[in-house]
Amino acid sequence: MNVYWEMTQACGLACRHCRAEAMPQPHPRELSHEESMAFLRQIPEFGQPLPQLILTGGDPLRRPDLYELIDEAGRLGISTSITPAATSMLSREVFAKLKEHGVEGIGLSLDGSTADRHDSIRGVPGTYDRTLQAMRWAGELELPLQINTLVSAETAPDLPAVFELLKQFRIARWSLFFLISVGRGKVLQPLPAAKAEELMDWVYELSKDAPFIVATTEAPSYRRIAIQHMKSEGLTGEDIRRSPSARGFGIRDGNGIVFVSSTGDICPAGFLPQVTGNVRTDRLVEVYRSAPLFKQLHDPSTFHGNCGACEYHTLCGGSRARAYEATGDALATDPLCDYEPRHSPSKEHAA
């Protein structure tokens, strides 16, 4: 279970794919310190094992009470990771302080193998160099590091070069985020389904020998592709369950994931902006367990079209955020996947 908290919309970058449409200053209705502490104290209501808390934004470093909030999460027994922006606020001293306060993981974004490529996505010159320096600091301080890389029509050709660059650093996980065209991301182009499938085939082969975990975000159809590859290689069901590729099977927007915005709105995911409550007035755990939308997202038999009929729907389920962005229906088919299930609606209609 992952709870993503957009601590603030304030950020010094102007990323072309920003979901949050981050701005220089905080949102005027941003959760106050007292409201933020009250929200954190709701998380233990999920019970054991407690969810992991991922602090995101905007730029979490722009919260003046950041370390007090991290300390409160630690007091509550909540494991915390953070995704700071690579701005002049990020320094080795900041990383050391985050580690001192118990942060267990860092997430950074690298969207190109060169400064020109990366900075054109991030919108601020010098971001590439600051990101590489931050990666070095994380390695020196032995802070587990995840690198997030955007996958779009603009960035896909550069991914092999990004992989070669990352091999020079001490990172734990490389997560390839397949573009959802929300917020400022509408100015970029997603990969067509056939090209996405080719890329996921490459990711699977790459993952066998990569010096770090290689995973996808908002592309759960990669799980189906990984299973198909593993079956073709002769692996048994038990072998597949033990495989690192099986980690996260069944997790998707709204099922194992919940998002809280800077103003307290509760959504199934940051890229699925359907508000189902607010931590100012509602209990997070009750919304997650009982709100009608969340209950539907927990049950893949409620999905429509191919995603509802697919034999992989329990393990995959498709990107609910992409389905919503494309159709306005979070239960619809994920357009990134063109796999035809054995009992697809289209086949039944043709029969």
Q: Contact 271/182 with Cβ under 8 angstroms?
A: yes
Q: Quick one: 58 exposed, middle or buried, by C-beta within 10 A (0-12, 13-18, 19+)?
A: buried
Instruction: Categorize the per-residue pLDDT at 349 as very low, low, confident or very high, splitting at 50, 70 and 90.
Output: very low
Q: What is the DSSP-derived secondary structure letter of residue 278?
A: E
Distance CA 182, CA 163 (A): 26
State the pLDDT at residue 344: 62
Per-residue confidence band for 185, with pLDDT thresholds at 50, 70 and 90: very low
pLDDT attached to residue 183: 61
Q: What is the reported pLDDT for 184?
A: 52
pLDDT digits (tens, 9 = 90+) for 299-316: 999 999 999 999 999 999
Instruction: For 12-25, write each residue's pLDDT tens digit.
Output: 887 766 665 667 78
Question: Predicted confidence band at 288 (pLDDT cuts at 50, 70, 90)?
Answer: very high
pLDDT higher than 50, residue 348: no
Spatial separation of the C-alpha atoms in residues 149 and 262, rounded to whole Å? 23
pLDDT of residue 139: 97
Average pLDDT over residues 72-77: 98
- Output the pLDDT for position 274: 96
Q: Dump pLDDT digits (tens) for 20-58.
A: 566 778 899 999 999 999 999 999 999 999 999 999 999
Report if pTM > 0.75. yes
Identify the band that residue 351 occupies on the pLDDT scale cut at 50, 70 and 90.
Answer: very low
Mean pLDDT, residues 70-80:
98
Element (H, E) at 127: helix 127-140
The pLDDT assigned to 342 comes to 79
- Going along the chain from its start, the domains and CATH numbers come out as 2-282 (3.20.20.70)
pLDDT for position 350: 38
Residue 126 has pLDDT above 70, yes or no: yes
**Using one digit for the tens of pLDDT, what is the confidence trace for 249-272?**
889 999 999 999 999 999 999 999
* 237 confidence band (pLDDT: 50, 70, 90): confident
Q: How far is CA 336 from CA 20, 168, 196, 298, 305, in A?
A: 22, 31, 7, 21, 13
Percent of the chain exceeding pLDDT 90 equals 84
Of 4-8, 80-84, 184-188, 276-280, the one with minimum mean pLDDT is 184-188
Q: State the pLDDT at residue 143.
A: 97
